[in-house]
Amino acid sequence: MLSTSLRSLTSKPFSSSSSSSSSSSSSSSLRYPQWSGLQKWREGPLNENRFWGPTGPQPPSSIIQEPNEIEVESPIDLGSSSSSSLAEMGALVLSTADPLIKSKLSHLAYSKWRQENLPVGVVQPPARPARPSKPQLVSPKEIPDPKNSGLPLNAFMLHNLAHVELNAIDLAWDTVVRFSPYAELLGEGFFADFAHVADDESRHFAWCSQRLAELGFSYGDMPAHNMLWRECEKSSDEVTARLAVIPLVQEARGLDAGPRLVKKLIGFGDHRTSNIVARIADEEVAHVAVGVNWFLSVCQKMGRAPCSTFKDILKEYNVELKGPFNYSARDEAGIPREWYDPSSTNKQDKNKQLSEVYERLACIISMEKENSSLNKPGG
């Protein structure tokens, strides 16, 4: 396997032989600017705005409930001994099949962990997350087009997004649970960030479910694919691969697709749904930024160059990068363009060569000016 596994790092986590390369990697990682809102996102209060009101997100009131919340409330219990750590609660979320219960439980788990200062813990994750009987999971080629889906275009796009958000809940919790044995190596901040991501994704799913219900539909009304979880399974044994494949590829694709989806919804005349999608796309910047931050951190600990490591992982795991890219959102999240766009690397090389030529020309011109001034006859 190309990528150094965490198991090898635990046997010799920071040996003297790797310290010099780590320090050089540390200096290189300083070249990558973080998303400016990362610290504010980390330190912000719990977000209870799980209902989409007339003017945007708001907390559910005693009158307004999340979709099917009457059924959701009763099965949830986080007071048992199986919820004494973050990893245990994450495993509970992963083992929950009902999407609405999973979404609510995800928020309760993150809230409990933050409020009660519970440890990360160590738990073996389930082989795969529990799934409801609907939607039927098919290959991407078998997904019906909008005309044959039985849903109007806005509900069709919203259902696809709801499926992505539900998978994102599981992807974030699987990262927490699967790598919990390496909490000492990775640090508590790693798990805090990905539990926070899971909480955000659960809120996004709640918005999508609410809006689908308003349109007269529900999650499961059309088939969906299982590609996202397959990508997760690919990276189940290596933290750098998980960070590269999920936040830096899959979630970054959301940054690319979000504005296009918003534009289509506005064209369809559904401004309420377009506002929900725009807000979700905006909040995904934090999730990609988290991936960049921890990818750089792990590369530093491994003494690996981030750019070449990212490209090597994508090649090893057969992950394809497809444009068009939303450069402004990716730049904001902190993904360097040379990591994913070959044309950007070529431009940088050309710019570097041109700057060297300009410097040489400037030096020659300066020397010629000095020579001409020396050769001038005295006045």
Mind listing the pLDDT tens digit for each residue in 285-320? Answer: 999 999 999 999 999 999 999 999 999 999 999 998
Going by pLDDT thresholds of 50, 70 and 90, the confidence category of residue 229 is confident
Residue 236 has a pLDDT of 85
Token code pair at residue 31: 């070249």
Mean pLDDT, to the nearest integer, of 24-48? 80
Q: Which pLDDT score, from 0 to 100, does residue 69 have?
A: 44
Per-residue pLDDT band at 25 (split at 50, 70, 90): very low
The Cα–Cα gap between 183 and 190 comes to: 8
Q: How far apart are CA 185 and CA 179, in angstroms?
A: 10
| More reliable by pLDDT, 140 or 180 | 180
Is residue 52 within 8 A of residue 207, CB to CB? The reply is yes
Confidence of residue 242 (pLDDT cuts 50, 70, 90): very high
Angle between helices 271-302 and 16-29 (to 10 degrees): 140
Please answer whether residues 219 and 133 qualify as being in contact, where contact means their C-beta atoms are separated by less than 8 angstroms.
no
Q: What is the pLDDT of residue 68?
A: 47
Please report the beta strands in the chain, taking only residues with DSSP state E, as ranges in sequence order.
51-53, 56-58, 137-138, 224-225
| Whole-number Å distance between alpha carbons of 166 and 180 | 22
Q: What mean pLDDT do residues 25-33 have? A: 57
* The pLDDT of residue 261: 97
Neighbours of 160 (CB within 10 A): 20
Tell me, letter by letter, the H, E, C secondary structure of 226-281.
CHHHHHHHHCCCCHHHHHHHHHHHHHHHHHHHHHHHHHHHHHHCCHHHHHHHHHHH
Residue with tokens 């798990």: 191
Q: Please compute the mean of the pLDDT values over residues 237-256 and round it to a whole number.
A: 95
Residue 52 clears pLDDT 80, i.e. is over it: yes
For 34-62, letters b (16+ CB in 10 Å) and e give ebeebeebeeeeebebbbbeeeebeebee
Is the Cβ–Cβ distance between 29 and 296 less than 8 Å?
A: yes
Residue with tokens 């190596």: 185
- CB-based contact 49:66 (threshold 8 Å): no
- Confidence band (pLDDT; 50, 70, 90) for 227? confident
pTM, two decimals, is 0.84
Half-sphere exposure of 338 (CA within 13 A, CB side): 12
208-224 tens-digit pLDDT: 999 999 999 999 999 99
**Buried b / exposed e along 277-301 (16+ C-beta atoms within 10 A):** bbbbbebbbbbbbbbbbbbbbbbbb
E strands, 113-242, are 137-138, 224-225
